[in-house]
């Protein structure tokens, strides 16, 4: 069971990293093509700008998920720097718990937003529903919340320590 869980975890991490690479590469190529088309041929792809906005959203959320996974997320450890080393894990646990709560609330409310978009039937561009493009928000914040929860009680070294 432990080996299967470890293999599943590695597979999910590879999928996450692969998505990040594919989306970033696609965004760079699409933005470059759009710039070239506009500057050289005085034209462009009508769907490129909305697609790039969606790609920025997806890259942001996937990047935040990876940063949380790798413990490279933004954190304020001012208090932790001045506390004795024995208290640092407690402070870190509290901040991880707080971050999990904030991300959980963001997942809940962005999920409500996506649900309202689904009910509204809004179209982002062409025939692509807006809710489908926004689905990364509750999923990303949910994953980050879960990762912060799993970090509680598993101290990571504070930066500058």
Closest C-alpha to 122, from 135, 109, 110, 131? 131
Which residues, including other chains, have CB under 8 Å from residue 137's CB and lie 6 or more apart? 57, 61, 106, 107, 110, 111, 113, 114
Question: Looking at residue 156, what is its pLDDT?
Answer: 61
Q: Where are the domains of the chain?
A: 2-151
Q: Which of 24 and 84 is assigned the larger pLDDT?
A: 24
The mean pLDDT value for 108-123 works out to 95
Q: What percentage of the chain reaches a pLDDT higher than 70?
A: 91
In this prediction, residue 146 carries a pLDDT of 94
Q: What is the pLDDT of residues 44-78, one digit of tens each?
A: 888 899 999 999 999 999 999 999 988 877 766 66
In the prediction, which pLDDT does 81 show? 73
């Amino acid at each position: 069971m432990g080996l299967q869980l470890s293999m599943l975890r590695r597979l999910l991490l590879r999928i996450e990293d692969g998505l990040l690479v594919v989306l970033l590469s696609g965004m760079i190529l699409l933005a470059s093509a759009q710039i070239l088309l506009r500057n050289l041929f005085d034209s462009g792809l009508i769907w490129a700008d909305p697609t790039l906005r969606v790609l920025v959203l997806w890259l942001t959320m996937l990047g935040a998920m990876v940063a949380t996974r790798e413990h490279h997320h933004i954190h304020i450890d001012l208090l932790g720097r001045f506390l004795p080393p024995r208290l640092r894990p407690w402070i870190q646990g509290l901040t991880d718990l707080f971050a999990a709560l904030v991300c959980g609330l963001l997942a809940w409310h962005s999920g409500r937003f996506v649900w309202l978009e689904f009910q509204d039937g809004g179209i982002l561009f062409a025939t692509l529903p807006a809710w489908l493009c926004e689905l990364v928000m509750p999923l990303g914040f949910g994953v980050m919340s879960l990762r912060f929860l799993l970090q509680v009680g598993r101290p990571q070294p504070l930066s500058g320590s």
